[in-house]
Structure 1
């Protein structure tokens, strides 16, 4: 069995590594070609070129590299066609992945699988129909996504979210972390997560810092902990130096401390994104806040199809997690919500537990489930040839 698999960023590399491990377990002798990072390379992949070349976000950043990326799309499609794999698996990075799949489909009948469904349930639903022209099967992270993909004409399997397989700190490790900060019993630990991109951190830092002022006025013994993402660690250290209180920044490479902080925290203030699921996995109640520039805010507001963007709320079909987006992303409102959560920390417990259950906690590892779905799809494809 030959598989061509590609990912364009670290989160995709993580999914790809787990999927490759699952395929190796279920189909011994499987051979891989493609593009990936360290986790996929650890499973035996020799990357066609460095994955980092594809990790480009935003129009301004893409423009100078457009010709290079276009050449890489063509080179990748040519490599797929030359290898004649049983299946092409593309992971997220739709701007690159779907262009490669389009070229491959135009010149062959190679089966195509895309891992991570587009968020058509939130906005731009037309993406699903466009995607169906070049993708045969989708592997979805969320249980509510298959109907959207199937309605567009693609097979779709919910395979579970990787967050349910992430290791969690023990209560002892959490207490040791609190002790390392010299915290008194009962003192609140506030986790602050202002994002993983420079634009996010720059935009949210002052608002988050101002929101902490009234919280610390009422909870004077509280400690602020900020786990820094690798690409923005220097910026996080700079902006948090202006925040009130005693702020402890966790270095990006200190994953053990980050896990312990997530488990030890009494409440988290976080930018909108997948981090809400990481917090739910650690049983940490949260307040979500996010803002963007005025024009983007207006466009998104007109296109958005849901009344919440917090994944815990969406998966649990509740509105347990308070969120402050766009014009509502104001320090006083965020501060009030943080104080409310500290007063009633258990209010989000049921929604967080239901979210983890629905995403596959306690079930087969998502990477293995994804591998089974790929093999099932291949069997059906081969029967129909």
Structure 2
């Protein structure tokens, strides 16, 4: 069968590449064409456009690159129309992908499947109308999404397991490298996000807070693959923080505690059993703090707490983000009952994620559903 996949970011490239690998195991005649990245390209097929030409985040960058975004979308629609795939598989990236889904359904080209569902439970819940109208099958990687989609919106979905849990399990079965280990002191890991704006907003305060403990702990910054080392150096000059690039799992495997910006990194840190403080600075913190209570549809911002459905890790976001608060919460989890309670909460997260291998489970369902439709 012919599969057209669209992933607009580095994380989507990773998850889509693993799905492609599993699809090949279930469909010996699988053909791929895709918007994605290097990892997807390594699995075979035709890379139409790299995600680096798609990933614009925030109002101003989107506005500045609007002609490029619209051109990419037009080219994607034309390419799908000309190739006539058996299915379009969308991977997260809802701003772009939901518009593609609308086009594919309006022109009756093929079924639309969504792998890694849009996080409409946090914001833009109105998108449920687009999903119901234009997405034939939705594959979720977060267990709490089942109640949201099925009970609240009466839209059946498939929970297939969590690929981050799969990746952590696989990594822990391989021999570790030495990249995150620079000496005998225990490590406090810093994970400051994967975008320059996140790093600029969060990292300076995270470093100042962690420096209180640098006599007894080595401070190690896990650098994101997409960020140049030179960008980090402006924040590290004059500090003892050591930068380790492209080895986040290695750093986490050696960490005693961590300061982490919100996102998938919070879940990765929990799955490695590293107590953490979630830190996320925003502009106009008091206003954002107030709006968060009024507008955000969920109680928490970290995946750890959302999956556990309770506060397992402390979230210092907007008006609670400060050096003093980070220092205080970090000290609590370096030793003592708060540390032990968090580790027990992590076990609960593992249980809720289940044992299904997400890409294999999704590929099995996708091929099964498509064959039933033929």
Q: What's the TM-score once normalised by structure 1's chain length?
A: 0.88
| Alignment pair present for 1:337 and 2:340 | no
1:94 maps to which residue? 94
The count of corresponding residues between Structure 1 and Structure 2 is 366
Deviation at 1:177, TM superposition (A): 6.2
2:162–2:353 Cα contact (<8 Å) kept: yes
Classify the secondary structure of the residue corresponding to 2:366: helix
Q: 1:44 to 1:170 in 2, by over 3 A?
A: closer
1:350 maps to which residue? 344
| Alignment pair present for 1:236 and 2:207 | no
Deviation at 1:374, TM superposition (A): 1.4
1:115-161 per-residue CA deviation (whole Å, 9 max, x = no partner) reads: 22222322332222232221111111101112333454644111122
Aligned residues: CA RMSD? 2.3
The structure 1 residue matched to 2:171, chosen from 157, 168, 172, is 168
Moved more, 123-132 or 24-33: 123-132
1:27 maps to which residue? 27
Cα distance in 2, alignment partners of residues 222 and 87 from structure 1: 51
1:124 maps to which residue? 124
Cα distance in 1, alignment partners of residues 159 and 323 from structure 2: 38
The structure 1 residue matched to 2:277, chosen from 256, 264, 287, is 287
1:120–1:148 Cα contact (<8 Å) kept: no
1:135–1:154 Cα contact (<8 Å) kept: no
Deviation at 1:250, TM superposition (A): 0.5
1:266-288 per-residue CA deviation (whole Å, 9 max, x = no partner) reads: 10011111101111221111111
1:306 maps to which residue? 298
Query: Counterparts in 2 of 1:108-187, with a 5 A limit?
Result: 108=108, 110-150=110-150, 151-152=152-153, 154-166=155-167, 167-169=170-172, 173=176, 181-183=182-184, 187=185
| Alignment pair present for 1:270 and 2:266 | no
2:115–2:139 Cα contact (<8 Å) kept: yes
| Alignment pair present for 1:210 and 2:208 | yes
Q: 1:310 to 1:235 in 2, by over 3 A?
A: same
Deviation at 1:92, TM superposition (A): 1.2
Deviation at 1:305, TM superposition (A): 2.3
1:113–1:138 Cα contact (<8 Å) kept: yes
1:164-200 per-residue CA deviation (whole Å, 9 max, x = no partner) reads: 22233579848x667x5232xxx43211112211111
Moved more, 345-354 or 366-375: 345-354
1:7 maps to which residue? 7
Deviation at 1:377, TM superposition (A): 3.1
1:81 maps to which residue? 81
Cα distance in 2, alignment partners of residues 284 and 133 from structure 1: 41
Moved more, 20-29 or 46-55: 46-55
Cα distance in 1, alignment partners of residues 176 and 77 from structure 2: 47
1:160–1:359 Cα contact (<8 Å) kept: yes
Classify the secondary structure of the residue corresponding to 2:157: strand
The structure 2 residue matched to 1:221, chosen from 216, 219, 233, is 216
Q: 1:22 to 1:182 in 2, by over 3 A?
A: closer
2:241 maps to which residue? 247
Classify the secondary structure of the residue corresponding to 2:274: coil
Classify the secondary structure of the residue corresponding to 2:171: coil
1:221-259 per-residue CA deviation (whole Å, 9 max, x = no partner) reads: 22111111133332222212244xx2111023xx3xx33
Classify the secondary structure of the residue corresponding to 2:226: helix
Unaligned residue ranges in structure 1 (runs of 5+): none
1:375 maps to which residue? 367
